[in-house]
């Protein structure tokens, strides 16, 4: 591996998460080829693309949950696949779209799982860990449910609990697969604001897949538009949201005309 370009340097610190010549395919479809991506401290990224475009697959690859066809992912300058699970969990948090594998536990026990990567191997959760978990549950409005079993939560409450668990974990790199799923309008905005506030306060970075263009416009600095990769060199487009959120790009991305309206609150996107 050639790390010349990403050696640590005070003026140009290495990206928190980077892909190096990454090629990812699934089901005979190539999502990206020899792809270089750099997520830096303080940056908030979005991945946009239609159903089946590969957003989840790409996020899973960047999190090390599935192997890339070629290339590698670097977490704070170290190849992800060489990190121990615990080391990885200290630095990288993932919000899965589907967590049907979750085992029975109370809301508080689930939030406390976010502390596990930071605890000693044989230690129990301390009162300080519990206070951190309760503070996160308060942030997402679940204090009153802390002793309830998670199978007694609504879809939106479960999503808020997953977000609380990440707030407890406090990773450097946050990868979120459709964080706005199941959330009502108030919680979409208030929880994304809290997540992003926490990411920025800890000089982290966040990458999330979204279906809502207005949330992408509101919260992201940078975007990945997941156009299919082909032999002609086409593929994902990466850049500032201001450059990428055009009607032309969005129509091509979703194969549907999208109108960009200018309002006092900023641009608003609606399907035509
Ligand atoms: N195990 C698998 N084997 C083959 N193809 C798969 C497999 N899992 C997913 N796919 C296909 O890979 C493509 C990308 O799926 P992925 O879930 O990453 O898309 P997505 O952009 O997250 O979609 P959505 O917006 O619908 O959640 C889809 O066409 C899907 O059918």
Candidate of 25, 28, 49, 55 to mutate for ligand 1, largest count of ligand atoms within 8 Å of Cβ:
55
Is it the case that residue 1 has pLDDT exceeding 50? no
In a domain, 120, yes or no: no
Q: How many CB atoms lie within 10 A of CB 71?
A: 18
Q: What is the mean pLDDT of residues 123-149?
A: 93
Task: Please report the ipTM that was assigned to this predicted complex.
Answer: 0.98
Residue 133 within a domain: no
Q: What is the pLDDT of residue 8?
A: 52
Taking the C-alpha atoms of residue 63 and residue 94, their distance in angstroms, rounded to an integer, is 7
pLDDT tens digits, 89-134 = 999 999 998 766 567 899 999 999 999 888 766 677 888 989 999 9
CA of 61 to the centre of ligand 1 (A): 13
Phi, psi of 199 (to 5 degrees): -60, -50
Cα 210 to ligand 1 centroid, rounded to whole Å: 15
Quick check: is 158 in a domain?
no
**Ligand 1 interacting residues, C-beta cut-off 6 A:** 26-27, 49, 51-57
271 — phi, psi (to 5°)?
A: -70, 140
Asked if the structure places residue 163 within a domain, the reply is no
Residue 216 Cα to ligand 1 middle (Å)? 21
- Ligand 1 centre to CA of 177 (Å) is 13
Range of the domain at 55: 4-100+171-271
- How many separate domains does the chain show? 1
- Whether 91 maps to a domain, the answer reads yes
pLDDT at 7: 53
Q: Is residue 111 part of a domain?
A: no
Q: What pLDDT does residue 4 have?
A: 43
Distance CA(182)–CA(155), nearest Å, equals 6
Whether the predicted model's global pTM rises above the 0.90 cut: yes
Residue nearest to atom 26 of ligand 1 (CA): 51
The number of the ligand 1 atom at minimal distance from the alpha carbon of 53 is: 21
Q: Whose CA is nearest to atom 17 of ligand 1?
A: 56
Which atom, in ligand 1's list, is nearest to the CA of 59? 18
CATH number for the domain spanning 90: value is 3.40.50.300
Give nearest CA residue, ligand 1 atom 3. Answer: 27
Report if residue 202 sits inside a domain.
yes
Ligand 1 centre distance from Cα of residue 261 (Å): 31
- For residue 71, the CA-to-ligand 1 centroid distance in Å is 21
* Gap from CA of 32 to ligand 1 centroid (Å): 14
Is 108 within the bounds of a domain?
A: no
Of 189, 182, 179, the residue nearest 155 (C-alpha): 182
pLDDT tens figures, 44-76:
999 999 999 999 999 999 999 999 999 999 999
């Amino acid at each position: 591996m050639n790390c010349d370009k990403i050696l640590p340097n005070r003026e140009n610190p290495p990206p928190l998460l980077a892909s190096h010549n990454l090629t990812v395919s699934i089901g005979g479809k190539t999502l990206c080829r020899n792809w270089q991506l750099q997520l830096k401290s303080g940056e908030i990224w979005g991945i946009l693309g239609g159903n089946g475009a590969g957003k989840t697959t790409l996020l899973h690859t960047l999190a090390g949950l599935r192997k890339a066809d070629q290339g590698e992912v670097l977490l704070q300058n170290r190849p992800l696949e060489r990190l121990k699970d615990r080391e990885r969990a200290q630095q990288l948090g993932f919000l899965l779209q589907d967590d049907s594998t979750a085992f029975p536990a109370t809301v508080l026990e689930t939030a406390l799982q976010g502390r596990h990567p930071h605890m000693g191997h044989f230690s129990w959760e301390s009162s300080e860990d519990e206070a951190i978990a309760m503070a996160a549950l308060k942030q997402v409005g679940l204090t009153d449910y802390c002793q309830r079993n998670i199978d007694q939560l609504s879809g939106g409450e479960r999503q808020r609990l997953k977000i609380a668990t990440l707030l407890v974990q406090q990773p450097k790199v946050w990868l979120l697969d459709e964080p706005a799923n199941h959330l009502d309008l108030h919680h979409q905005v208030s929880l994304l604001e809290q997540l992003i506030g926490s990411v920025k306060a800890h000089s982290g970075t966040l990458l999330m897949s979204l279906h809502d263009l207005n949330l992408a416009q509101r919260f992201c600095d940078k975007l990945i538009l997941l156009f299919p990769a082909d032999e002609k060199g086409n593929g994902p487009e990466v850049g500032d949201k201001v450059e990428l959120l055009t009607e032309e790009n969005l129509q091509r991305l979703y194969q549907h005309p999208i109108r960009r309206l200018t309002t006092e609150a900023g641009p608003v996107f609606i399907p035509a």
